[in-house]
Chain A
Amino acid sequence: MNGSSEGDVVVPGDVVRLTGVKGKVVLGPGLARTGEGVHATKCGVLRKGGNNIFYVDSRQKKYVPAKGECVLGVVTNARGDMFKVDIGSSDEASVSYLAFENATKKNRPLVNVGDVLFGRLLVASKDMEPELVCVDSHGKKGRLGVLPDGGFLFTCSLNLVRKLLRPECPLLEALGKQLAFELVVGLNGRVWLRTGSVRETLLVADAVLAYQHLQPHQVQHAVDQLIYQLSSS
């Protein structure tokens, strides 16, 4: 057995050959080191990211928290010093009331149960409860924080999220040329969307969900149809 290399279809137990890399290699999700070699632990396509990161792109719906990832969550408990946020993992994440921009002991951030929060995972370990922050290391919120009212939150599979977040995503490019919308994508399989009207929101959400099963060349056609539906109403 020669082992699989980048772009190959792998199943758990396959030996993976990391080719064309010098220096340190980072094993991402779906890969594990066993003794001498590297094995796949998930079914999917072996991919290589920047900085020699190798991972397996696989079908998955359940989110397992990983440090540094930006996720969308719904606040379930906003009492006390720690807010509880449901991010779709087995444990609820917690977020301190001080982890917001300009928050001090006197100046508590305005967070209510049911709010949608976009945060970065500060702590994510299999043995600990995940912890979110809504500021970067300079105390600036950037794009993180409580999302405004009027948005629509829906869930999708994790590989669709990765597909949406690729540097050039044909769907978002094509949609962006025709419509104005705000889209927040959490790596935990949640998407937040806001457009001008309810109808537009639902159509865009449908398009995003359908993107899961689309090949790149089918995207333009799907978007054209969507615009046609919108204009015909």
Chain B
Amino acid sequence: MPRPLLHSLLSLILNQLTRVLHAVCSVYKQNFLAMNSNSSNGTHSDDKEECSVRPILCELGVITRPDGSAILTQGHTVVMSAVYGPSEVRMQRLQVDRAYVETVFRPKAGVPNTSDRLRETIIRDTCETAMIATLYPRTTISVILQEMEDSGGLLACSINASCLALMDSGVSMKFLFAAVTCGVTEDDLIIVDPDADKLKECKASLTFAFDSINKNVIASYTSGTFPVQTYNNGLEKCRQASDFLFDFYRDIVRKYASTL
């Protein structure tokens, strides 16, 4: 099949898929809001609004050939991810003491450019930190990400999707990781997990990846100009929001645990 046709077909299917997912999203959002109001008794109602993330939906094992796969939607941002490995390694990539981790990020249309390369290195290094790569010497672990739709927070969504695919693949990990983006407005206010429209009004955006044990920062990527204090505020807000993602991960495992 010619490539452009395949692309258009794929995006058509995806549009349908996201539409269905969004219908379910709204239900999930209500649940989430209910949950949030239960947990945050002592905080201001404004705070709660700021620290909530967009509705998340995910399915594990969506594609059959990879050793682990996932599709994740955060708001309207959709990323599909796959993990192969530990599998055979090319001679020049061989590392005798640990697995070689490679990441491929495919944009929605066109060929990957240099900013996708930058994204790849962030995702790869984050995955490599979480994995116990020394358990699989002389092998490759490939993490492949396909952007389906970008409406803000693509990097964070990609990092989370790669974590889910790794969970599905059964690769040993030290901890799970979750990424959250926040936007900084002109008056240095923080908006957690903004969508594309809100992001346009922001002067800067900060993306952080946290580990699941101590919620320390694994990765940080920023764009725009911002003062130090705002950076620290954003970090704290994103860290609070990451709790929701970690709970979400655990819920997914709980769901499939009954069939194990």
Contacts and interface: CB of A to CB of B under 8 A. Distances in A.
B86 A90 contact: yes
Interface residues of A, number: 31
B137 A12 contact: no
A62 B172 contact: no
Contacts of B260: 44-45, 57-59, 159, 163
A172 to B, nearest CB: 17
Contacts of A10: 253
Interface in A1-47: 9-13, 30, 32, 39, 41-45
Interface stretch (A140-148, A176-184, A208-216): A208-216
A61 B176 contact: no
Contacts of A159: 260
Contact of B68 (A11, A61, A163): A61
B170 A32 contact: no
B257 A41 contact: no
A61 B175 contact: no
B197 to A, nearest CB: 34
A36 to B, nearest CB: 14
Contacts, number: 94
Nearest to A129: B138
B44 interface: no
Interface in B235-257: 249-250, 253-254, 256-257
Assign chain B's interface to a size class: 35 or more
Given A44-B260, A90-B88, A215-B259, A60 B172 contact: no
A12 B175 contact: yes
B248 to A, nearest CB: 11
Q: Classify the secondary structure of A's interface with B.
A: loop
A105 interface: no
Contact of B173 (A12, A61, A64): A12
A213 to B, nearest CB: 6
B14 interface: no
B168 A59 contact: yes
5 contacts: A9-B257, A58-B260, A59-B68, A62-B87, A126-B136
Interface of A: 9-13, 30, 32, 39, 41-45, 57-62, 64, 90-91, 126-127, 158-159, 163, 212-215
Interface of B: 60-61, 67-68, 85-89, 130, 132, 135-139, 167-170, 172-176, 211-213, 249-250, 253-254, 256-260
Given A9-B254, A61-B170, A213-B259, 12 more contacts: A11-B253, A12-B175, A13-B174, A13-B211, A30-B172, A42-B170, A44-B253, A44-B260, A59-B170, A90-B88, A90-B89, A90-B139
